[in-house]
């Protein structure tokens, strides 16, 4: 007889043994107590005993994971035993009489296979079929037939199973980020472990790795202890039970328990996502005929796109290239593609430690990764799951999967920081220092990994990280201030009278009367609120903060200073290309000089409308990213100096640049068409739907009446070419340009003036803004024609 009261206190193995023994006895009694059918005349004698009858456990008992107060899922399998209905009744009633919940069915092997081939839940359950009692050969036949049928039906059933799990995850939530998680049904819960085994049974993925099995076993332990304490069949880890469950499992407190649950759930969800991606690729039907080689498209130096994932180039050397890890992650985020699992393993094993401080190229790549926005979230999770994010930021381990008990917070601390950085990426066009905004968003709550007020403890931690990243001392100080005071604006706006001059003065004094810090704090507050919840950042709260910022800006009464442009001085020419057939005097000269973080390219050519645009287009065709530019004209001959960074690590070739510029000036090189094709071929950028932002800043440049027009738009290979062409088409001279690219956005500042030195009137500025907006959306303007030998800038020496 089964002692049901003793079952909850047993280990899982003991519960399995007790239930199996009891059920075997019940089956023997049921068969013995059921009279055999009469023998048909001329037919074989009726079978007796358990020949042709097997009791099979499915569900949790089939997996040897019966939970306290759980159901019994049983299948009575038969091979044409006429008295099977009577045997079933004799078997099921004692189970009900014992007070156990029972989910039962009676099937022949063909019937079971047929049901499993049409019902994904039934098929999933039969994959766990385990012999308990009766005819072992029949139970083995059921399991073999079920596995074969599952593999044949996988292409039809697995997409449905995937949709079921994702829909359930949207309703219940993700296990890793819930304060009271459903251990079974939340995405990343116990169901994911069962689904991963089902996909492996379909031979479309490997068996779950050891760390997944360990996380799954831990969730089973938590679920069992939860049911043991509550005395009922529930899977939601309610808050009042977390402390005693932690003590029962030998953990220090409930926060440690919730953190361990989060880590297990994140690993299960991560592997499940990767598995479904592999399954979807495997189930896509390939066209018949010849095998086609997968195209490899370069994304960055040492990084290529292969199919729907990012991999290392064949000649990449992670051990000798410390920046490859961050560069690959940035390229993946920008292309909105995952890094391949094999690439992650290679990077984890072979990547050398980064030098401290980080080289400028590594810091630039990390900023591009953060600026990838939503696309960066998945890539950062990949780095985190492979232990690579902690290599870049050792302090990250202190906040990894750290729970936040405030009900406003949707995420653990680390995921909240990543979400805040993704939200900040949407605000980079609103600030003058997007790099500081992105890093501050990623680090603003880093102090929660240490005791005390997280704003206070986080300031030195953020400063230490920023110093290691290679930021200059003034920038480190600003980042520390942003972390220290990231709650200043929302707390003040919601708790103080923002119309009180004393409130405004206190905020201004706290930020050191620095308008740049105020601008960054406003954007950081928006990103922090968006990453928390709708309750934490309501429209009314956003309005209050904006009103406070407006009052403080009025009190400060100063505009944010424009960042000085890099110093560019012409390099001596190395290659001189002969003049083209246009009749313009002079030749095209190109000089290249290695500088910190790239090269400086000097291009000299006869001045004409759009010269700077032609040079920018040729540099883009040669896969060179422009960071700054300056143009001077003397006696009708223009000299353009560019600070460039090779996109794929290949140094610029002077002869190729000279020939390209000459052909572009002659009109024999269709720059617009070639650049449009280049952008279509590489398809690197995830779509950004936000419109470009254009702003003006008055300035004096070399005594000429001039202005600075700043354009913030989605980046592309031909963006600088189109922008400068649009300015030239509007009759403007571009004297210099400062270019910064972060993720999918470019921030380009152009110092412009009219050839006759007159100020730009509002109507002209409006036409320029329309032309730049069109250029940002891919329109290439027609440049005005000039008489042969006459340069558009000839009368304006600089």
User: How many whole angstroms separate alpha carbon 124 and alpha carbon 141?
Assistant: 17
Q: Which two tokens stand for residue 437?
A: 């905004």
Where is mean pLDDT largest: 64-78, 574-588, 758-772?
64-78
How far the first Cα of the chain sits from its last, in Å, is 101
Q: What is the pLDDT of residue 290?
A: 53
Ranking 128-142, 257-271, 544-558 by mean pLDDT, the lowest is 544-558
Neighbours of 748 (CB within 10 A): 24
Pairing relation of β-strands 733-742 and 704-714? unpaired
What sign does the CA torsion over 765, 769, 771, 775 have?
A: positive
Q: What is the pLDDT of residue 33?
A: 85
Q: Using alpha carbons only, what angle is made at residue 406 by residues 402 and 407, rounded to the nearest 5 degrees?
A: 115
Residue bearing tokens 């001045």 = 607
Find out whether 652 and 599 touch, Cβ atoms under 8 Å. yes
Residues facing residue 78 across a β-bridge: 53, 108
In this prediction, residue 565 has a pLDDT band, given cuts at 50, 70 and 90, of very low
The residue that leads in pLDDT, 225 or 752, is: 225
In this prediction, residue 787 has a pLDDT band, given cuts at 50, 70 and 90, of very low
Q: Which two tokens stand for residue 430?
A: 């609103």
Find out whether 395 and 465 touch, Cβ atoms under 8 Å. yes
Mean pLDDT of 630-649: 83
Q: What is the pLDDT of residue 586?
A: 65
Domains and CATH numbers, the chain: 4-38+45-153 (3.30.460.10), 173-283 (1.20.120.330), 299-392 (1.10.110), 411-561 (1.10.3210), 575-682+689-776 (3.30.70.260)
Percent of residues, the chain, with pLDDT higher than 70: 89
User: How many whole angstroms separate alpha carbon 479 and alpha carbon 472?
Assistant: 11
Average pLDDT, the chain: 86
Residue 683 has pLDDT above 80, yes or no: no
Residue 598 has pLDDT above 60, yes or no: yes
Mean pLDDT of 737-748: 71
Residue bearing tokens 């499915």 = 58
Residue 286 has pLDDT above 60, yes or no: no
Pairing relation of β-strands 598-606 and 637-646? antiparallel
In this prediction, residue 294 has a pLDDT band, given cuts at 50, 70 and 90, of low
The residue that leads in pLDDT, 585 or 554, is: 554
The residue that leads in pLDDT, 182 or 672, is: 182
In this prediction, residue 611 has a pLDDT band, given cuts at 50, 70 and 90, of confident
Q: Write out pLDDT tens, residues 337-366.
A: 999 999 999 999 999 899 999 998 899 999
User: How many whole angstroms separate alpha carbon 115 and alpha carbon 97?
Assistant: 29
Find out whether 436 and 482 touch, Cβ atoms under 8 Å. yes
Q: Write out pLDDT tens, residues 570-597.
A: 888 888 876 544 334 468 999 998 886 6
Ranking 121-125, 187-191, 767-771 by mean pLDDT, the lowest is 121-125
Q: Using alpha carbons only, what angle is made at residue 523 by residues 451 and 555, rounded to the nearest 5 degrees?
A: 100
Judged by DSSP in three states, 439 sits in helix
Find out whether 795 and 786 touch, Cβ atoms under 8 Å. no
CA of residue 690 relative to chain centroid, distance = 19
Pairing relation of β-strands 588-595 and 575-577? antiparallel
Quick one: which of 370, 377, 392 has its CA closest to 323? 392
* Strands of 296-300's sheet in order across: 296-300, 303-306, 309-312
Residue 699 has pLDDT above 70, yes or no: no
Mean pLDDT of 289-317: 83
* Residue 365 burial class via C-beta count within 10 angstroms: exposed 0-12, middle 13-18, buried 19 and up: buried
DSSP 598: E
Pairing relation of β-strands 102-108 and 72-78? parallel
Mean pLDDT of 172-192: 92
User: How many whole angstroms separate alpha carbon 427 and alpha carbon 747?
Assistant: 12
Residue 559 has pLDDT above 50, yes or no: no
pTM of the model: 0.80
Residue 446 has pLDDT above 90, yes or no: yes
Find out whether 218 and 212 touch, Cβ atoms under 8 Å. no
Q: What is the pLDDT of residue 558?
A: 52
Residue 379 has pLDDT above 80, yes or no: yes
User: How many whole angstroms separate alpha carbon 531 and alpha carbon 525?
Assistant: 10
Q: What is the pLDDT of residue 413?
A: 94
Q: What is the pLDDT of residue 786?
A: 42
Mean pLDDT of 447-453: 94
């Amino acid at each position: 007889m089964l002692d049901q009261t003793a079952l909850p206190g047993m280990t899982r193995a003991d519960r399995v043994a007790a239930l199996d023994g009891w059920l075997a006895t019940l089956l023997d009694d049921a068969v013995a107590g059921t009279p055999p059918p009469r023998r048909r005349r001329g037919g074989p004698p009726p079978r007796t005993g358990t020949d042709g009858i097997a009791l099979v456990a499915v569900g949790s008992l089939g997996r040897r994971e019966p939970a306290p107060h759980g159901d019994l899922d049983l299948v009575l399998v038969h091979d044409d035993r006429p008295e099977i209905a009577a045997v079933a009744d004799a078997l099921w009633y004692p189970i009900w009489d014992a007070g156990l919940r029972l989910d039962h069915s009676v099937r022949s092997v063909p019937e079971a296979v047929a049901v499993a081939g049409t019902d994904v839940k039934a098929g999933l359950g039969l994959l766990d079929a385990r012999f308990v009692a009766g005819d072992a050969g029949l139970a083995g036949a059921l399991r073999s037939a079920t596995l074969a049928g599952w593999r044949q039906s996988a292409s039809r059933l697995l997409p449905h199973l995937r949709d079921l799990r994702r829909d359930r995850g949207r309703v219940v939530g993700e296990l890793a980020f819930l304060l009271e998680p459903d251990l079974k049904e939340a995405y990343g819960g116990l169901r994911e472990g069962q689904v991963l085994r089902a996909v492996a049974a379909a031979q479309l993925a490997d068996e779950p790795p050891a760390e997944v099995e360990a996380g799954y076993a831990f969730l089973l332990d938590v679920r069992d202890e939860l049911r043991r304490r509550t005395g009922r069949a529930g899977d939601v880890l309610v808050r009042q039970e977390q402390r005693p469950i932690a003590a029962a499992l030998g953990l220090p407190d409930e926060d440690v328990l919730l953190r361990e649950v989060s880590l297990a759930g994140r690993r299960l969800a991560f592997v499940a996502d990767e598995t479904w991606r592999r399954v979807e690729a495997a189930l896509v039907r390939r066209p018949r005929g010849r095998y086609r080689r997968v195209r490899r498209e370069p994304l960055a130096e040492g990084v290529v796109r292969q199919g729907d994932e990012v991999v290392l180039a064949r000649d990449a050397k992670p051990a000798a290239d410390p920046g490859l890890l961050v560069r690959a992650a940035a390229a993946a985020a920008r292309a909105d593609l995952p890094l391949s699992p094999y690439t992650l393993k290679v990077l984890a094993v072979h990547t050398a430690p980064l030098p401290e401080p980080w080289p400028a190229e590594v810091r630039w790549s990390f900023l591009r990764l953060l600026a990838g926005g939503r696309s960066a979230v998945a890539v950062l999770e990949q780095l985190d799951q492979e232990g690579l994010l902690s290599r870049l930021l050792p302090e990250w381990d202190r906040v990894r999967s750290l729970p936040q008990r405030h009900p406003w917070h949707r995420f653990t601390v680390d995921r909240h920081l990543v979400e805040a950085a993704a939200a900040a990426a949407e605000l980079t066009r609103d600030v003058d220092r997007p790099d500081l905004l992105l890093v501050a968003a990623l680090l603003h709550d880093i102090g929660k990994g240490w005791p005390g007020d997280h704003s206070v403890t986080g300031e030195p931690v953020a400063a230490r990280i920023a110093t290691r990243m290679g930021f200059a001392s003034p920038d480190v100080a600003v980042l520390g201030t942003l972390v220290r005071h990231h709650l200043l604006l929302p707390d003040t706006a919601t708790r103080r009278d923002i119309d009180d001059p004393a409130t405004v003065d206190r905020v201004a004094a706290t930020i050191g009367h620095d308008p740049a810090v105020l601008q960054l704090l406003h954007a950081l507050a928006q990103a922090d609120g968006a990453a928390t919840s709708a309750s934490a950042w309501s429209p009314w709260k956003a309005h209050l903060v904006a009103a406070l910022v407006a009052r403080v800006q009025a009190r400060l009464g100063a505009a944010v200073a424009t960042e000085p442009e890099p110093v560019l001085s012409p390099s001596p020419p190395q290659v001189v290309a002969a003049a083209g057939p246009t009749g313009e005097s002079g030749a095209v000269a190109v000089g290249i000089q290695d500088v910190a973080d790239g090269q400086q390219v000097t291009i000299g050519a006869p001045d004409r409308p759009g010269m700077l645009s032609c040079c920018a287009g040729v540099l883009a065709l040669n896969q060179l990213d422009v960071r700054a530019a300056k143009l001077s004209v003397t006696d009708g001959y223009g000299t353009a100096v560019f600070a460039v960074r090779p996109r794929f690590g290949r140094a610029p070739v002077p002869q190729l640049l000279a020939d390209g510029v000459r052909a572009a000036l002659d009109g024999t090189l269709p720059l617009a068409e070639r650049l449009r094709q280049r952008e279509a071929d590489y398809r690197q950028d995830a779509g950004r739907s936000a419109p470009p932002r254009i702003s003006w800043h008055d300035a004096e440049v070399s005594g000429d009446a001039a202005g600075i027009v700043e354009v913030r738009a989605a980046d592309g290979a031909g963006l600088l070419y189109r922008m400068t062409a649009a300015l030239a088409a509007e009759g403007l001279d571009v004297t210099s340009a400062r270019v910064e690219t972060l993720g999918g956005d470019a921030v380009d500042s152009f110092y412009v003036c009219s050839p006759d030195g007159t100020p730009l009137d509002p109507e002209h500025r409006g036409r320029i803004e329309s032309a730049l907006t069109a250029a940002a959306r891919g329109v290439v303007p027609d440049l005005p024609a000039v008489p042969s030998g006459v340069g558009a800038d000839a009368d304006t020496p600089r």
